[in-house]
Chains A and B, each alone.
Chain A
Amino acid sequence: MDILRFITAGSVDDGKSTLIGRLLYDSKSIMIDQLEAIERQTKNRGEGDIDLALLTDGLRAEREQGITIDVAYKYFSTPRRKFIIADAPGHIQYTRNMVTGASNADLIIILVDARNGVIEQTRRHSIIASLLNIPHVVVAINKMDIVGYSQDTYNNIVIDFAKVAASLGLKNVTYIPISALDGDNIVDRSENFSWYEGEPLLHLLENVEVASDVDLTHARFPVQYVIRPQTDVLHDYRGYAGKLISGIYRKGDKVTVLPSGVQSKIKAIEIGGKEIEEAFAPQSIVLHLEDNIDVSRGDVIVASNDLPKVAQELDILICWMGNKPLAAGNRYLLQINSRLVKSIVKEIHYKLNVNSLEQEPSPELVSLNDIVKATIKTASPVAYDVYTDLRVNGGAILIDETSNVTVGACMIQ
């Protein structure tokens, strides 16, 4: 059994909550007391049918307004897989919350209302999927019951979306007609879609191959913490604790510590206190090097024959998440894995219109939820990979040093 992390993009009107409720309900992940609780709430409001959205909207403000404000994480499992759903808001004013949910996702379900087809929101969600480089995209064309299970409607939406996917370079796109309300094509194949030859949604989620999304080629090990017991017995013990975010390491491998560039060899690898011969991503391990060199938190230990880029000037796509505007000349802390450096925004090249994908050169104002291309300069060198090549070592955050808030999600280009 492994894990699939996926995000659902859409609004309540598209049937997002109904879809999640359906998946939880049909996989028996909703318990009787939880169902009773939402029944009580629905009754208290004098409404009729059970509102499955109450299951996912965890905050009082969300329930009052009937909207999703922030990401909620939901869990269910089948004998094959554990699923982690990031239930993210779909509206444009919550783009930052959606980006938060999308950053860890292996797969995105983009919900399309069959009556409306591909709309502005669909494009925006697709752009986020493309920016965050989510490996798998499922376009769930919902409310097919309302359009009479029409194959033509479905085909037209597929043709429209394929154009969007092509312009964004989205890979691994799967289309599926569903009716979340009736459970059509969710767990079981529905007879209403005799013309549909694909598999039902849950089957697809259970079988999509995600293990190969873990990069086992480029060994990258950001040091988080140095373990030094300093006891009599373990006087010389010095272990570098961290997670192997990509690649494989074996005892004896030649490694380079970045950004210093000092080389050494792996003397030993430990996991949970036991020595092992090799480790692979995403294991949390302890590394020992042959040479006594200066290594501390913020350094990255990489394979010497496969170095990442090291630079002080970075071209990045930023999803701006701050309430105060982003402007050239502003200073922020940049955090990439365990490395934290001071940085300054040198230039903002363009703003991306998230609905039309057009680039607006030299924007006057960059505010919350805007996506821009910028160049930043860091106070010391940063070891990174291009985000689209290696997601785990190409994403960084910007922190406002005065408020300590995370204000930007950066995809390094």
Chain B
Amino acid sequence: MSQYRLDHLEQLESEAIHIMREVAGQFEKPALLFSGGKDSITLVHLALKTFRPGKFPFPLVHIDTGHNFREALDFRDELADKIGEKLIVRKVADTIKQQNLTEPKGKFASRNALQTFTLLDTINEFKFDACIGGARRDEEKARAKERIFSVRDEFGQWDPKLQRPELWNTYNGRIHKGENVRVFPISNWTELDIWNYIRRENIDLPSIYFAHNREVLEYEGQLVATSEFIQLEETDKISIRKVRYRTVGDMTCTAAVESTASNIDDIIKEIIATKTSERGETRIDDRVSEAAMEDRKKSGYF
């Protein structure tokens, strides 16, 4: 009997592949949003398993805030090159210029909100009708509510009260012109599932996911890497610490965690032992209010 059973990672993998094939089957112009972070790297790995020996039926698209970690950008370019798939990069800096947007101010001036403008412009430029993303429902309470096929209006807005029923494994991707669907194949994966899958499948990651020495600023209990994007003051407490990144977002809103984990096994051990959630420990942008993510999603964010 046991030979015909899938374990949890195999089940999640099969579900993700099924979802990506639904995208390929239902849409004219899909895209895969790729940031160089572990979740979107996992998506690319799944896409290889989904479509090879064929080409991906979509390009990889990165919305570059200009505040990214160099290691993640290099990794992004190398991976796209290695697998021979098309990579489209659109820069928030260009949108700011073109649309005369106001740069955020402050100590950790984050372009996180401006990213949505560039994303919507890019969707418009290429007429993308579906964007595959690496969001997971365990990340955040608003994400826990979102469908796998999440329909957005022409302003990219999510209306949480008007979500389509999503039954069995049947996905309704029909939309009107101008609308698009955000698709989340790894909705049902947890942070630990991702790491266990990375270990099992031997997936390469950018070096910043592993412990390394870095100059950091201690701010309200979080460790933020010093960089040209952050305003330092004389009173700031700066030190060199051994850290790794649990998530990789902008340098202005992602905090590092102290760690000595230099390989996947050790990272998994640390994650099992941690008492803080992934976003709680590493994201400065979620602390704004209890509905920060819901509000960003409603205005077109991922």
On A, residues with C-beta under 8 Å from B are 1-3, 31-34, 37, 40-41, 55-61, 63, 69-75, 77, 81-82, 84, 96-97, 99-100, 103-104, 211, 214, 216, 224-225, 227-229, 234, 237, 239, 241-243, 245, 248, 272-273, 280, 282-284, 297, 321, 333, 335-338, 391-392, 395-397, 399, 404-406, 409
Contacts and interface: CB of A to CB of B under 8 A. Distances in A.
A404 B172 contact: yes
A255 to B, nearest CB: 19
B226 interface: no
A233 to B, nearest CB: 9
Nearest to A282: B14
Interface stretch (B49-57, B65-73, B90-98, B241-249): B49-57
Interface stretch (B99-107, B109-117, B227-235, B271-279): B271-279
A104 B25 contact: no
B280 A31 contact: yes
A392 B169 CA distance: 8
B288 interface: no
Interface residues of B, number: 63
Contacts of B6: 2, 282-283
Contact of A75 (B138, B172, B176, B294): B138
22 contacts: A2-B6, A33-B280, A34-B280, A58-B142, A70-B145, A70-B160, A81-B8, A99-B167, A216-B4, A228-B54, A229-B54, A243-B17, A243-B21, A321-B165, A335-B170, A335-B172, A338-B22, A391-B168, A392-B168, A406-B164, A406-B165, A406-B167
A34 B161 CA distance: 24
B275 A69 contact: no
A228 B55 CA distance: 9
Contacts of A297: 25
Interface stretch (B32-40, B125-133, B186-194, B261-269): B186-194
A225 B8 CA distance: 25
B163 interface: yes
A1 B7 contact: yes
B25 A224 contact: yes
Contact of A73 (B51, B55, B137, B276): B137
Given A3-B11, A58-B144, A272-B49, A224 B21 contact: yes
Contacts of B188: 73, 75, 84
B140 to A, nearest CB: 8
Contacts of A337: 169-170
A199 to B, nearest CB: 22
A59 B165 contact: no
Interface in B1-58: 1, 4-8, 10-15, 17-18, 21-22, 24-25, 48-55, 57
Given A41-B290, A84-B188, A227-B53, A405 B168 contact: no
B5 A2 contact: yes
A221 to B, nearest CB: 12
Given A392-B168, A404-B172, A227 B51 contact: yes
The secondary structure that dominates the A interface is mixed
B141 A399 contact: no
Minimum-distance CB pairs A-B, first 8: A33-B280, A58-B141, A284-B17, A31-B277, A224-B21, A404-B174, A272-B49, A227-B54
Contact of B165 (A97, A216, A237): A97
A89 to B, nearest CB: 11
B47 to A, nearest CB: 11
A284 B21 contact: yes
A406 B18 contact: no
Nearest to A84: B188
Nearest to B167: A103
Given A82-B193, A273-B53, A396 B170 contact: yes
Nearest to A245: B169
A164 B167 CA distance: 26
B183 to A, nearest CB: 14
A58 B144 CA distance: 7
B218 interface: no
Counting chain A CB atoms within 10 Å of each CB, the highest count among B22, B49, B54, B151 belongs to B54
Nearest to B173: A404
A396 B294 CA distance: 31
B190 A399 contact: no
B166 interface: yes
A60 B163 CA distance: 15
A399 B174 contact: yes
Given A33-B281, A82-B193, A409-B165, A338 B25 contact: yes
A102 B108 CA distance: 43
